[in-house]
Amino acid sequence: MPTAPEYARRSYRGRQRRRLALLVTLPSLILGTVSVGGAYSAGLLTRKPAAVCKPTVVEAPARDSFKIEVQNSNETPGEGAKVAKDLTKRGFTVTQVTNAPDGVYIKRSALVYHGKQGLDQALLVAAQIPGARAWNDGRAGTGVELVIGYGFNGLSYVPPAPPPLPGEITVNVYNTTYREGLASEVGDALRDRSFELGSVGNDPLMSFLPDDVAVIRHGPEGADAADVLLQHIPGARLVTDTREDTSLDLVLGNDYAALTPEAEIPKPAPRPEPKPDTIERPCTK
């Protein structure tokens, strides 16, 4: 068994050898690292590229093929109803509009809750609102729930729709004059020009228009249709009422003479072919 002085000498020599090995090995490691880095830079060695996960672009489901419930969680009164109305104009089916329960706080513009079968539907709805996100809460079916948050600042921009064609406009024709059969005569003429004919007869509001050619009554949603009909009725007046649909009332006055000759009616601009909606399904690694 080694004595204490001999043990101390052995320990000292061991420490010296370890220090020498460190002095030899450390520069080698540093030089080796630099060499490997240089080899990568020189193209002698190549790194395996990281796998890139790309979303899958697919055709979206039809806008009217699923149901949307809208909830408003911010402090703007009527925001939910407005969003529902705008989505309906875009062809979606909104079945319910409510305020979110107390305590629900969404900082972003909106969340669209969906289940396994409703991912594509939720992505399509989320695409209508900048900053919105789809969120799987495990619900059944393809229906989704849109919850409007505090960051909501309107739907995404879409170009305005072209003016409706006559075949897309329903016109009620009413007579206020003493000329019997005038409403039927004008209604038949408008039908020949492809307008959809609604009610025909005497004005239910019993208007008296002694100094008017005609009055075209319409609601806010029928303003574009009224402008189209106005092209066929020279001298008519536009009057906005509270109806919620796009129907029109053509109320004939004493100064009515005839429709504008068809040759003088501006030709509608050609409509571009509608493109199907697409969505990006998030990638899964």
Which of 248, 137, 204, 245 lies closest to 237 in space, CA to CA?
A: 248
Residue 13 binned pLDDT confidence (cut-offs 50, 70, 90): low
The CB density around residue 58, as the number of other CB atoms within 10 Å, is 12
Going by the DSSP 8-state scheme, the letter that residue 180 receives in this structure is T
| Each residue's pLDDT tens digit, 84-120 | 999 999 999 999 999 999 889 999 999 999 999 999 9
Phi, psi of 119 (to 5 degrees): -60, -50
- The domains of the chain are located at 66-158, 166-261
More confident residue, 2 or 268: 268
Give the rounded percent of residues in the chain with a pLDDT score beyond 90.
74
Q: Cβ contacts of residue 104 below 8 Å, gap of 6+?
A: 71, 73, 147
For the structural domain made of 66-158, what CATH number should be given?
3.30.70.2390
More confident residue, 189 or 27: 189
15: pLDDT strictly greater than 90: no
Between 128-132, 184-188, 217-221, 270-274, the lowest mean confidence (pLDDT) is in 270-274
Contact 243, 237 (CB under 8 A): no
Give the rounded percent of residues in the chain with a pLDDT score beyond 70.
82
Instruction: Give the pTM.
Output: 0.71
More confident residue, 223 or 22: 223
Q: Tell the CATH topology of 166-261.
A: Alpha-Beta Plaits (3.30.70)
Residue 44 binned pLDDT confidence (cut-offs 50, 70, 90): low
Mean pLDDT of 165-183: 97
Residue 272 binned pLDDT confidence (cut-offs 50, 70, 90): confident
3-state secondary structure of 68: strand
Q: Which residue's entry shows tokens 């460190």? A: 22
| Each residue's pLDDT tens digit, 217-242 | 999 999 999 999 999 999 999 999 99
Q: Report the first-to-last Cα separation within the chain, whole angstroms.
A: 63
Same fold, 66-158 and 166-261: yes
Going by the DSSP 8-state scheme, the letter that residue 122 receives in this structure is H
37 vs 54: CA distance, rounded Å: 30
Residue 271 binned pLDDT confidence (cut-offs 50, 70, 90): confident
Q: Cβ contacts of residue 66 below 8 Å, gap of 6+?
A: 93, 118, 121, 142, 143, 144
